[in-house]
Amino acid sequence: MNATSDAIVIGAGIVGISCALRLAQRGLSVRLIEREIAPATGSTGRSAAGVRHQFSEAVNVQLSRDSIAEYRAMSQSGYRPIGYLFLVPESDWPAQLDAIAMQRAMGLTVEALTPQEAARILPSNLNGIAGASWCADDGIVDPHSICMAWLSQARALGVKLQTSSEVCAIEQTPGGWQIQCQDSRDRSAQLHQAPILVNAAGAWAGQVAALAGLNVPVGPARRMIFVTGPLPESLRRAHWYPLTVDMTTGFWLRSEHERLIFGLSNPQDSGFSQGIDWEWLEPTCEAALERFPWFEQLSIDRRASWWGYYEDTPDHNPILGAMPGMSGWINACGFSGHGVQQAAATGRLIAQEALGERTSIDLSTLRIERFSGQTDPGKASERLIV
Ligand SMILES: Cc1cc2nc3c(=O)[nH]c(=O)nc-3n(C[C@H](O)[C@H](O)[C@H](O)COP(=O)(O)OP(=O)(O)OC[C@H]3O[C@@H](n4cnc5c(N)ncnc54)[C@H](O)[C@@H]3O)c2cc1C
């Protein structure tokens, strides 16, 4: 088969689905290609589902703010404002106060709390904590339901979702891009062509770009999410435990119904390692007990715990926008653990970019050129937290 459409989107995770929908809403014919047997089974199906406005860079606040506004308005999103609480050590407190001022100037209800005020939200050992940052509008969503809702709208607009189809070769042609896919069920090959190609392949976006001889610096970093058993009576509360991050170590936790889920990034864990690294449970629990002594009352549910890949870039910010000199190639990848909360805005921005319009959020600090010294990469990179 040699099929032509206006745009090909590679990867049916939350980002690719969002892009496909918004491109179709702008009148383009779209083919959405996914290697797995079902959509939303990559990082999207394995996230902690947190959505937060609290970022240190304004462009990330904008991406999340616009996306969360969309999720709040969407009946199927499962948006639940459980809040995000950051416990901040002395060394990071001045920068955190700057970030809070920036977020408040952008109209967000973010509060700087004393350690004692923070401990009233979640009891903790306050050693070394200078203050806390709290946003009650941060929370969680249901990424799978969001994907299914968007997909059903996209299909109604003619988007063709092709699953079990791995993109294994990409060529630039006079008319745009030609991709070769292999069907994992019968090994048959298919060719598709389009003037626009969106690389939304998540942790595999670097590999997909390499098929076309392009360097897109996105790589995998395995992350574990450990799950506790049901909370004992002594730890049950009327409200969910907010998504709480101890910024001294990066340890985080939140409620998931009658349990907690929790994790800690292992900076050494890069590459496509698979499965849960159970050896990482001990350092994770040590970090938990240091800050939350009540954690010793909890058990671990090994079978409920899971793992997945962050899709990291060198500065932990996404790579969005057209590839310079490569007509029609658009990157929508590298969210470095923030893709769920930034997907809704991303779809709209990528559609604007594809149609040659000025994007409603300035993408200059997120374009790939920042890695080649052609633009200012911006001040600090985003901290790698959940
Ligand atoms: C443990 C964990 C916790 C996280 N917590 C959060 C959180 O709280 N909040 C948040 O916002 N984000 C979180 N994230 C990150 C979030 O899951 C990702 O940023 C987001 O899912 C990225 O979406 P995506 O569509 O870009 O990637 P994916 O969902 O990975 O989709 C990419 C798709 O591309 C497909 N693909 C790859 N190569 C090919 C190919 N050659 N041919 C065809 N298809 C291909 C893959 O199969 C995959 O389905 C977390 C991630 C993990 C692992």
Q: Quick one: which of 241, 239, 242, 244 has its CA closest to 87?
A: 244
Which residue's alpha carbon is at the smallest distance from atom 35 of ligand 1?
Answer: 11
Identity of the residue numbered 319: I
Gap from CA of 203 to ligand 1 centroid (Å)? 6
pLDDT digits (tens, 9 = 90+) for 189-247: 999 999 999 999 999 999 999 999 999 999 999 999 999 999 999 999 989 999 999 99
Identity of the residue numbered 329: W
Q: Which among 9, 47, 168 is the best mutation to test ligand 1's pocket, defined by most ligand atoms within 8 Å of the CB? A: 47
In this prediction the pTM is: 0.96
DSSP 3-state of 76: helix
Is the shortest distance between the CB of 252 and ligand 1 below 6 Å?
Answer: no
pLDDT digits (tens, 9 = 90+) for 60-86: 999 999 999 999 999 999 999 999 999
Gap from CA of 204 to ligand 1 centroid (Å)? 9
Q: How far apart are CA 349 and CA 202, in angstroms?
A: 17
Q: Which among 31, 184, 330, 340 is the best mutation to test ligand 1's pocket, defined by most ligand atoms within 8 Å of the CB? A: 340
Note the pLDDT of residue 381: 59
The fold of 79-139+220-310 is: D-Amino Acid Oxidase; Chain A, domain 2 (3.30.9)
Q: How far apart are CA 255 and CA 128, in angstroms?
A: 25
Gap from CA of 334 to ligand 1 centroid (Å)? 9
Per-residue H/E/C for 106-121? CCCCEEEECHHHHHHH
- Burial class of residue 29 (count of CB atoms within 10 Å of its CB; 0-12, 13-18, 19+): middle
Q: Which atom of ligand 1 is nearest to the CA of 16?
A: 25
The fold of 2-45+143-218+314-372 is: FAD/NAD(P)-binding domain (3.50.50)
Q: How far apart are CA 361 and CA 357, in angstroms?
A: 11
Q: How far apart are CA 16 and CA 195, in angstroms?
A: 17
Q: Is the pLDDT of residue 152 over 90?
A: yes
Q: Which among 44, 165, 218, 261 is the best mutation to test ligand 1's pocket, defined by most ligand atoms within 8 Å of the CB? A: 44
Which residue's alpha carbon is at the smallest distance from atom 48 of ligand 1?
Answer: 42
Kindly state the average pLDDT of the residues 361-366: 96
| Range with the poorest average pLDDT among 2-6, 31-35, 266-270 | 2-6
Gap from CA of 47 to ligand 1 centroid (Å)? 8
Q: Is the pLDDT of residue 380 over 50?
A: no
Sheet holding 319-322, edge to edge: 160-162, 30-33, 7-10, 196-199, 329-333, 319-322
Q: What are phi and psi of 120, to 5 degrees?
A: -75, -30
Q: How far apart are CA 219 and CA 310, in angstroms?
A: 8
Kindly state the average pLDDT of the residues 176-181: 97
Kindly list the domain boundaries of the chain, sorted by start residue.
2-45+143-218+314-372, 79-139+220-310
pLDDT digits (tens, 9 = 90+) for 115-144: 999 999 999 999 999 999 999 999 999 999
Q: b/e per residue, 60-71, with b = 16+ CB within 10 A?
A: bbbbbbbbbebb
> How many CB atoms within 10 Å of residue 318?
26
Which residue's alpha carbon is at the smallest distance from atom 9 of ligand 1?
Answer: 50
Sign, CA dihedral 110-114-117-119, equals positive
Q: Which two tokens stand for residue 381?
A: 């990179």
Q: Quick one: which of 206, 162, 214, 169 has its CA closest to 326?
A: 214
Is the shortest distance between the CB of 170 and ligand 1 below 6 Å?
Answer: no
